[in-house]
Amino acid sequence: MTPEMKGFLLLAVLKMVVVFTVVMVGVALLTLMERKVSAWMQNRRGPNRVGFAGLLQPAADGVKNIVKEETYPAEANSFLFILAPALAFIPAMCLSAVIPWAAPVDISLDRTLPLLGHVRYDGRMAMAVADLPIGFLFVLAVSSLGVYGIALAGWSSNSKYSLLGGLRSSAQMISYEVAMGMSLIPLLILVGNASFGDVIKAQQDGLWFILPLTLSFFVFLVAGFAETNRLPFDLPEAESELIAGYHTEYSAMKFSLFFIAEYANMVTVSAMLATLFFGGWDIPGTSWDQNGSTLAAVATGAAMFLKTFFFLFFFMWIRWTLPRFRYDQLMALGWKFLIPLALVYLMIIAVAVWILEAVVGIADPKIKALILFGMNAVMCYVVFFILDRGTLVSGSYRRQVPANVGS
C-alpha cells in the first residue's frame, strides 16, 4: 500500500470516528436539551438531579436502557423485529458522513507512524467524512431508507397500533420525499452541481440561498419536519392516538435506537438546512475563512455549529408549540399544497434563471441573486398572505352551520 493511500485511509478513519462520536454524544445531549427547552417553555426546570444541572441525565438514561429487560411481543416476527431498529439507525448515521462541518483544511502529513509505517497526505482535505460529488442527492436517497426500519418495526410487532403507525409513516415519508426532492431542484439550477462544496461556494459568490430561494427553503423546512417525524408531523408516533406508534412494542436498547435515529435525523436535517440555505460553514462577509488554515476550520466549524444548533432549537420550539396534524390533513398539505407549490416554483425559477442568464445576460452571481430575492419577496407575499393560510391545512371537513341551529 502506498504511503498516500495509507494517509488517505488514516484521515478518513479519523474523520469517521470523530463524526460518529460527535453525533452520538450530540444526540445524547440533544435529548437533554429537548427536555430543558420544553421545561423552559412550560415554566418547569427540567432534569436537574443527575450531575451538574442534569448534564449526566443522558448517561443515566443510556445506562437504564442498556440494563433494561428486552421484551418481545408474542407472535412477533423476531428476525424483522430485531432488524428494524438497526435499519432505522444505520441510514441516520450514514447521513452525517456527507455534511461538510467546516472549511477545508490544507494538510501536509509525511511521517512514519508505529504499526502503520510511512503515511503521507498532501493537499486540501474536505471536513466531511466523504465529500461525495452527488452530495445532497445521497442524503435524499439514504434518508428515505430509514422508512424501511419504521415500516418493518410496525409490521413485525404484531400489534395494531404499531401497524397503523408504520403505515402512516411510510405514506408520510414517501409523500414528503417528493416535495423535499422537488424543493431542491431550483438549488440545482442555480448551483449546477449537487455537491455540498459547490453549494457552499455558490452561496459565497452570490447570496445565501434563503434569499434567492425563499420558498424552496420553506418547502424543504416543512418536508424536513415530516421526514424526521417530529411534531406537528409525528403521526407515526401520535402518542395520544397510537400509544407510541411503530415503537409501541419496543423496549430497552432497541427503543433507544429509534430514539437515537430520530435525533440523528434531526441533526442531519438541521445541518442540511444550514448548508443548503444558510451558507453552510460560511462566515458572512469574510473571505479569510477559505484560506485553508486550521484557525479558519475551527472558526467555520463554530459557525456551522451555531447554524445547526439554531435549527435544532427551532425543531424543539415548534414541537412544544404546535398541535398535531390529522392524517388526511397531512396528506392534503403534502400533495395538494407543497408539491404543486414546489413544481410551480421550480418552473418560475427555471424561467427566471434562463431569462437572466441567456436573454439579459447577467453574469455577476450577486446581482442575479438580488433580482431573484426581489421575485421571492413578491411570491412569498402571495403565498403566505393572499392564499389564505387556513385553506392550506383544512382537511376533508367543511364547517357549516347545522340547519336547525337556534330552533
Give the binding site for other proteins (CB under 8 A). 38, 41-44, 74-75, 160-161, 164, 231-232, 234-235, 238-241, 243, 320-329, 389-390, 392-395, 397-407
The three three-digit cell numbers of residue 333, written as one number: 398539505
Q: Could you give the CA distance from residue 393 to residue 336 in angstroms, rounded to a whole number?
A: 10
For residues 164 and 194, which CB has a smaller minimum distance to other proteins in the complex? 164
For residues 240 and 287, which CB has a smaller minimum distance to other proteins in the complex? 240
For residues 38 and 290, which CB has a smaller minimum distance to other proteins in the complex? 38
For residues 70 and 239, which CB has a smaller minimum distance to other proteins in the complex? 239
* Shortest separation between residue 97's beta carbon and other proteins, angstroms: 33
DSSP one-letter string for 134-152: THHHHHHHHHTTHHHHHHH
* Shortest separation between residue 329's beta carbon and other proteins, angstroms: 5
Torsion from C-alpha of 361, 362, 363, 367, nearest 10 degrees: -170
Q: Could you give the CA distance from residue 284 to residue 303 in angstroms, rounded to a whole number?
A: 10
Sequence-distant (≥ 6) Cβ neighbours of residue 339 within 8 angstroms = 178, 179, 182
For residues 42 and 294, which CB has a smaller minimum distance to other proteins in the complex? 42
For residues 121 and 325, which CB has a smaller minimum distance to other proteins in the complex? 325
Q: Could you give the CA distance from residue 271 to residue 196 in angstroms, rounded to a whole number?
A: 11
Q: How far is CA 284 from CA 17, 281, 290, 389, in A?
A: 30, 9, 12, 33
Residue 324, phi then psi, degrees to nearest 5: -95, 150
Sign of the dihedral defined by the CA atoms of residues 170, 176, 181, 187, in that order: negative
For residues 386 and 403, which CB has a smaller minimum distance to other proteins in the complex? 403
* Shortest separation between residue 233's beta carbon and other proteins, angstroms: 10
* Shortest separation between residue 308's beta carbon and other proteins, angstroms: 24
CB 221 within 8 A of CB 338: no
CB 297 within 8 A of CB 127: yes
CB 87 within 8 A of CB 149: yes
Residue 231, phi then psi, degrees to nearest 5: -60, 140
Q: Could you give the CA distance from residue 305 to residue 275 in angstroms, rounded to a whole number?
A: 11
Nearest CA-CA partner of 261 in 15, 8, 23, 77: 23
* Shortest separation between residue 359's beta carbon and other proteins, angstroms: 40
* Shortest separation between residue 229's beta carbon and other proteins, angstroms: 12
For residues 2 and 321, which CB has a smaller minimum distance to other proteins in the complex? 321
* Shortest separation between residue 404's beta carbon and other proteins, angstroms: 5
* Shortest separation between residue 103's beta carbon and other proteins, angstroms: 39
* Shortest separation between residue 183's beta carbon and other proteins, angstroms: 21
Q: How far is CA 104 from CA 21, 96, 178, in A?
A: 20, 17, 32
For residues 160 and 336, which CB has a smaller minimum distance to other proteins in the complex? 160
